[in-house]
Structure 1
């Protein structure tokens, strides 16, 4: 987000100000960028079996021009990596065609560019022909960034594999001179379920998304990949994790489609302008082009994977989850549950580790059936506000006269037309308008807010292990002890086994926020009167603490059929007398239970290599899995023929090897082999003296 001040008198005064917010580059609507028809052909052009015309298309209505110029722009990073002279260069190279009719399509036969053959990454720009070549600050449509194989010189086209092999070896030499970034990136989640559940630290990779058909161009055999949300602290590196249809992580030791870490995080990192922190482009320079050189344009993948090995998941620790939903029911990070129906604004999470603050506002629940606008004597969340350190403040709320979600950035409304990803100060924000919002903070904390059919919000907070013993609020602490989760501000804890609903009501009221610490927006008179000028916890509102269940009540039978054994659903039906409210609560509870199941810790024993002169069966390295080994013809197996991943994270059995056999099918012992080699060496020396 960029702050703007606008002047009309050559900078003497600036009467207008505002902000410009950039949506993540991978989420630009298709109508606002040009399309490289058959993009794979563009990026492989010049390799065996390719050739012919290329076509670029665009929405001609996006440009108010009768004729356009189509230009080639290149990107490169110059200077010594991680030094003061390291710089990014974005440059106009040449014009493909001038004064082309703005009909939305251009087809041409590529001609090798000897002058610009060193520019291997770039994009096309389509702009009005009234602009001069390479002119900046003009209305234009851009293509995606891509490998400029189609414009490379004759040396590439004569023998693309030899050219790429040389490039791969050059990259290999550069990588050996650069610092090791692998130790500071987080390990991958062990399973697909963990990867999709850990939304505070990992997000769907747009290039391999199971929800969109799993077209995983660079990770064949995978059905879904995720990327680490935050770049690593020192080197701004990223992590990519890919999974197969069985939900198992795919490793580069087993497949070219395995998970690969990135020296340049695909989404960049502040301050963004300096390599390797430039979004998209730095990742292309250090991780994608090298993959083309070593794996796609030549057969040297082993060189690439030497520097980009899959991390595995032995160090991965799932986050802890807390949730609140319905009337509202709380499930703390340590698994304790209670119902608190206060009316006001309350602290849900407060941390002295990163000054993470998550606050909730409640209002009387509007019924989903019956009289329009009718309210029940219970409360539900109507707004959630949050901030970490000096990050932007995000607030998600249900507007007074609408059932959809509204997102506020620093107390101003954000407008969304489709699923959007935003890179903001200290956080990332992802939203499906009207349904849910996910906020991912720099610390790895994740907050998910959703509105389904109920006219109240459901909330889930995910926190990594480092927050342990650094929390307070209605969601308690993370220390594995649910008995101290009902802790007041003064440090006094209520006994969870003997606390009544009335005791819990007093506990919740103690966590009412103050105006000076509030993150909320008070932009209507009702909000001012109710929450700003009024008490933060309304002492005049007394909810139904324990609803009665009359067996003769027809609603009870319907409730039993709907809710089954779900206590939260039953509670909300009885207090609201609205089955729709109970059903929404039941769905929210089920989502939480599924999340908890997905985030269960998993033991990994780590990757097992196949023996030299042999092979292995099995690529699952989690607890209980078995890997089997076989030897090639002429070799016999020594050690374990199969090994199982044990609960302690170690493989069973002895290491496996394949040794030449003695003619009867028995392997020669290492001692015999060693003596034979030494004997041969001694004989050679003796012969040399003759």
Structure 2
């Protein structure tokens, strides 16, 4: 804001003002003060008789640190020539003066041939990005060259004025940190600065593609951009096709147009783009300087797609040409659920193209639309291969290719891979992402998608083993890699973890904590009482004799109130300062620094607390200020949280080790995650031996093993103290070694009397013992609360990475489809067969808590067709059988009717012939003939129906 400074010598001249603006700028490394002078209406505080009051009453211009030493006075200040500051400057802008104020002496000259400063210090690999260079005084030459040292890539820069220059980055085929050399005549390679080239997968596009899933040949598509980033009225829009040849990116213009004063446009994708597999949109500014490349904005890379038929052809050609995949990546090692994957930072990272925290929502999960989140394998294999694991459904379980085309799979190239004929991300896009899209999503052919997953094995989790977490937090409270909990509060530098070959080393620095709670209140009360008494003594006479305030009776009370408030503030400041610097040392320690090294990584990573900048991150003793760092086998990510703390994630992917450092204003809390099988039973230090057995973690440097139930005093002196860093092994070369005070006597957590704790402990800590211990010893609520949060977070992490009982994969359902909610207990699958197929076994199966399906997985089998003549024959046989049945039924009915009739009218008949009288043929037998003559006796004649015929009679007479 503009500050009007009044002339104070005469009351009648108070309306005269001198106006200036002060701006303070700092990045916690360099600090600057900018003064903008606007108007001067008085130059001195002389009295009416033209006599000066004092030299200090003259108009002062410049910067004064107020410490009696660091100050600079602009030429002409405190004289009648001071008005010249309105028309002069040290940065070529009248009225503007810039001072560097972080040095021992105020730096007045804006350029003193110091180190270059490049803004911004990172950018994407496609080029066209504007860089502002500042630092030394630039020569009068209009141009000079800059060179990416590691790859010998030269690009021109132009001088804007004596203190700034501009460059435009060229396109590159590599990512990572590069050194830019600036060749300023007569100095060659005298100035250099580090510039980070960011992978295209992690770059947010500056040209936005609306509805990206609808971008196919022949469609009208819409793009937009921020025209202010180009600062050009005329803009050139190009649709470019990609060709990669010998590790060189070549973009060929397929469509182009020129527009003026617009920020969006609609265009139609032409068929000529089908000559390429990958395309991109570039919006380029008009060339301002012939010696420098134009500024450019880029979209994301997108697949060239026309229709289902062309994708089928593309996929078939790829399947024929693609050689077998020979990689050292096991597709069965994915975490089974997302919460496991998000916690396993030693082996997996979020897919920059598909994760829940993505800032680029329209493009997020565009290639895995059924997934909620995907993770990528950290470890870069010797074959440059990679792997993705994708999660979806209500439980965010691992997607499998049999049930989802968007499941993860093994890559021929991971997105970071670079080298001969390999361009970061773009080679991966063409070799892995495009085949998956054409064979599965675009073609919509199950057999093509199935063939793709034979070329790129789908990810599974049947061989996954969770990593081992470890903790070092608060005073410090440690949990070993095998889960053993203890507290160790030594002072000095200690080996937190190292392998037995000393190729992987993690060291920590512990210092004594200070108690500020009770002593601060006591000192503040004493200070406030003292200053209040002084205020009363000074102003007591004015209450008794109010002169010279008799004209203004209220002034006495007003001045007293003002000074009383001032002394109150002064008491607080003095008390805070005194106890921040001189608070009483406690018999407790906290971690204040950590250093890490892996032998095949050239950088030693250090993080330590700093009173000015909160923390410092060093790589080989050089401060690093960028939010991300990516190197072969090492990545660093800095995340400023909203809780007055900073999370720094360091991942050594080559050894499957991650270290998360939580930097609070009071302490460093550390979470270490180990996933390496090769390091199993091969590490030592304060975090144990990583063999899966928590009972043998307390092994000293000399090889002596303590019992797991040893007292904290025994653990402290016989185990913890043995792991002090030897002088020749120190990684903290730039940090002084902490002093162990002679009066220091550690207090052990197993001696804590929970019945005699500080007031407010229960409300602050609940039932978290480490929090109670820290609050009791250190007395600072912020440290205790940070310990509680970190311990709670660690406990939740342990639960999240626990092994889950997952039901086995169902597999691909031939000749049908299924709907599956996942493989976790409670999930289910429903099966449906295609037309002309029938299902064998159940329609639905459910996953049981023991990790098995409750029923047999069904199959779909084809119905067996019957030949036509077989059908007619079957019909004929059926008709005959039906006729026979009808006739039999009719006959049986008639017979039953006849029997009933005979039964109703039956009469008693005389015997015709006695059996014993038969001695000759029947018709010549006199007895038989006489019997026939008597048949009409007693009524009408009827022939009796025989009910039995003796076989002997039948044989003899008939």
Counterpart mapping for 1:279-294 below 5 A: 279-294=424-439
- 2:387 aligns to what SS in structure 1? coil
1:202 aligned residue: 348
Q: Is the 8 A contact 2:516 2:584 kept in 1?
A: no
1:172 aligned residue: 319
Change (3 A) 1:539 1:208: farther
Q: Deviations over 1:636-685 (max 9, x none)?
A: 65456666667887767655334467xxxxxxxxxxx79x99xx9xxxxx
- 1:347 aligns to what SS in structure 2? strand
Q: Deviations over 1:456-493 (max 9, x none)?
A: 11111111141211100100111122222111112111
Change (3 A) 1:7 1:247: closer
1:227 corresponds to 2:376: yes
Q: Deviations over 1:513-536 (max 9, x none)?
A: 1343222252xxxx43x44xx6xx
Shift of 1:182: 7.9
In structure 2, what is the Cα distance between the partners aligned to 1:6 and 1:634? 72
Counterpart mapping for 1:26-37 below 5 A: 26-28=201-203, 34-37=206-209
2:452 aligned residue: 307
Q: 2:336 aligns with which of 172, 190, 199?
A: 190
Q: Is the 8 A contact 1:196 1:203 kept in 2?
A: yes
In structure 2, what is the Cα distance between the partners aligned to 1:551 and 1:399? 36
Shift of 1:616: 4.3
Q: Is the 8 A contact 1:610 1:629 kept in 2?
A: no
Change (3 A) 1:147 1:428: same
In structure 1, what is the Cα distance between the partners aligned to 2:368 and 2:281? 26
Q: Deviations over 1:323-378 (max 9, x none)?
A: 11011000001111111111211111101478221111122335686743135512
Change (3 A) 1:13 1:488: same
Q: Is the 8 A contact 1:37 1:57 kept in 2?
A: no
- 1:510 aligns to what SS in structure 2? helix
Q: Deviations over 1:81-108 (max 9, x none)?
A: xxxxxx334114238557754x462525
In structure 2, what is the Cα distance between the partners aligned to 1:222 and 1:503? 48
Q: 2:666 aligns with which of 436, 439, 455?
A: 455
Shift of 1:73: 4.3
1:543 corresponds to 2:746: yes
In structure 2, what is the Cα distance between the partners aligned to 1:597 and 1:26? 32
1:473 corresponds to 2:631: no
- 2:380 aligns to what SS in structure 1? coil
Q: 2:263 aligns with which of 89, 94, 105?
A: 105
- 1:306 aligns to what SS in structure 2? helix
Q: Deviations over 1:481-517 (max 9, x none)?
A: 2222111112111222123325424422221113432
1:592 aligned residue: 794
2:935 aligned residue: none
In structure 2, what is the Cα distance between the partners aligned to 1:389 and 1:640? 57
Counterpart mapping for 1:424-439 below 5 A: 424-433=631-640, 435-439=646-650
What is the aligned length? Answer: 618
Change (3 A) 1:11 1:289: farther
1:349 corresponds to 2:527: no
In structure 1, what is the Cα distance between the partners aligned to 2:718 and 2:237? 68
Q: Is the 8 A contact 2:513 2:589 kept in 1?
A: yes
1:138 aligned residue: 293
Q: Is the 8 A contact 1:605 1:651 kept in 2?
A: yes
Change (3 A) 1:576 1:305: farther
Range that drifts further, 456-465 or 212-221: 212-221
In structure 2, what is the Cα distance between the partners aligned to 1:450 and 1:630? 51
- 1:483 aligns to what SS in structure 2? helix
Shift of 1:390: 2.6
Shift of 1:10: 9.0
1:383 corresponds to 2:593: yes
Range that drifts further, 305-314 or 641-650: 641-650
Q: Is the 8 A contact 1:349 1:471 kept in 2?
A: yes
Q: Is the 8 A contact 1:349 1:475 kept in 2?
A: yes
1:55 aligned residue: 223
Change (3 A) 1:146 1:182: same
Change (3 A) 1:379 1:642: same
Range that drifts further, 370-379 or 627-636: 627-636
Q: TM-score, normalised by structure 2?
A: 0.59
Q: 2:724 aligns with which of 495, 506, 512?
A: 512
Counterpart mapping for 1:543-582 below 5 A: 543-546=746-749, 548-549=752-753, 551=755, 555-556=758-759, 558-582=760-784
In structure 2, what is the Cα distance between the partners aligned to 1:302 and 1:281? 27
Q: Is the 8 A contact 2:343 2:801 kept in 1?
A: yes
Shift of 1:541: 3.1
Q: Is the 8 A contact 2:481 2:687 kept in 1?
A: yes
In structure 2, what is the Cα distance between the partners aligned to 1:333 and 1:59? 53
Q: TM-score, normalised by structure 1?
A: 0.79
Shift of 1:64: 5.6
Shift of 1:206: 2.8
In structure 2, what is the Cα distance between the partners aligned to 1:506 and 1:182? 43
2:391 aligned residue: 242
In structure 2, what is the Cα distance between the partners aligned to 1:315 and 1:606? 11
Shift of 1:208: 2.7
2:183 aligned residue: 8
Shift of 1:591: 0.6
In structure 1, what is the Cα distance between the partners aligned to 2:391 and 2:475? 38
Q: Is the 8 A contact 2:339 2:801 kept in 1?
A: yes
- 1:338 aligns to what SS in structure 2? strand
In structure 2, what is the Cα distance between the partners aligned to 1:286 and 1:131? 38
2:194 aligned residue: 19
- 1:15 aligns to what SS in structure 2? strand
Shift of 1:285: 0.2
2:404 aligned residue: 255
1:122 corresponds to 2:122: no
Q: Is the 8 A contact 1:613 1:635 kept in 2?
A: yes
In structure 2, what is the Cα distance between the partners aligned to 1:331 and 1:614? 51
Q: Is the 8 A contact 1:231 1:238 kept in 2?
A: no
Q: Deviations over 1:562-614 (max 9, x none)?
A: 32322111111111223332222111111110110011122444321365455
Q: Is the 8 A contact 2:278 2:303 kept in 1?
A: yes
Shift of 1:173: 1.5
Gaps of 5+ in 1: 79-86, 662-672, 681-690
Change (3 A) 1:221 1:366: farther
Q: 1:446 aligns with which of 650, 654, 658?
A: 658
In structure 1, what is the Cα distance between the partners aligned to 2:707 and 2:512? 29
- 1:238 aligns to what SS in structure 2? strand
Q: Deviations over 1:204-235 (max 9, x none)?
A: 22333223598532323322221112333324
Q: Deviations over 1:110-160 (max 9, x none)?
A: 36263x64223233444443279xx997353341332264xx8xxx5xxx3
- 1:379 aligns to what SS in structure 2? strand
Shift of 1:27: 4.0
Shift of 1:192: 1.1
Range that drifts further, 216-225 or 380-389: 216-225
How large is the Cα RMSD of the aligned pairs? 3.6
1:422 aligned residue: 629
Change (3 A) 1:516 1:105: farther
Of structures 1 and 2, the one with the larger relative CO (CA 8 A, separation 6+) is 1
In structure 1, what is the Cα distance between the partners aligned to 2:769 and 2:715? 20
Gaps of 5+ in 2: 1-175, 521-575, 871-958
2:8 aligned residue: none
- 1:187 aligns to what SS in structure 2? coil
In structure 1, what is the Cα distance between the partners aligned to 2:283 and 2:837? 62
In structure 1, what is the Cα distance between the partners aligned to 2:495 and 2:848? 43
Q: Is the 8 A contact 2:207 2:283 kept in 1?
A: no
